[in-house]
Structure 1
Amino acid sequence: MSWPYPDFPFAGDGPPPDGADVRLAALVAQRLSIDWTTRRQQITVTAQNGVVILAGVVTDAETRRAAGELAWDVSGVFDVCNALRLRSGWRRGR
């Protein structure tokens, strides 16, 4: 277990998040929040070394695909890891 220095702002086990990755994750999250197919979904966005990681639960496969494509459209994205899961038991018309 790592022990951070008292004035070190990041207390996680890995390296501190890069400013560019934080900005990239924010841009992707903003893009997902304004698109009508993804804005009401439970999607968490993180980035590491230009790779965007999408995690959470979405209603259908089309929404999962759209989220991945929207992430790719953001400038600066090197790769997308689409780890979104489909909500089980969800049916149209409910």
Structure 2
Amino acid sequence: MPWPYPEHNPYLGDDGVHDEDLRLAALVAQRLSADWTTRRQQISVSVQNRVVILTGMVADPATRQAAGDLAWDVIGVFDVCNALTLYGRGRGRR
């Protein structure tokens, strides 16, 4: 049985999706701030139709991966867009 898209869920109205997105954003942000790997990083969390979008800057690839994994572990998340960038990327070193 395929998973239904959020807009086809008969149990949620328009307000239900918005409330669920806010709840998921709060849960993901709480998880990121509690984990020792991600707590001191510049990570912004937004959610649209149960898709978590992570933006900001992190120190290394392992931290980027950990942030994505933590977001995926939240129940109710349909997908994660990990748009985190690494410090120093795109700039020349001297």
- TM-score normalised per structure 2: 0.75
The amino acid of 1:25's aligned partner reads A
The percentage of counterpart residues that share the same residue type is: 69
Aligned to 2:53: 53
- TM-score normalised per structure 1: 0.75
What are the ranges of 5 or more consecutive residues in structure 1 without an aligned counterpart? 1-15, 90-94
Q: CA deviation at 1:34?
A: 0.2
For 1:82 and 1:58, locate their aligned partners in 2 and report how far apart those are by CA, in whole Å: 11
Aligned to 1:4: none
Q: CA deviation at 1:81?
A: 0.1
What are the ranges of 5 or more consecutive residues in structure 2 without an aligned counterpart? 1-14, 90-94
Report the number of matched residues.
74
Alpha carbon RMSD of aligned pairs, Å? 1.5
Aligned to 2:40: 40
For 1:74 and 1:31, locate their aligned partners in 2 and report how far apart those are by CA, in whole Å: 8
Q: CA deviation at 1:26?
A: 0.5
The amino acid of 1:36's aligned partner reads W
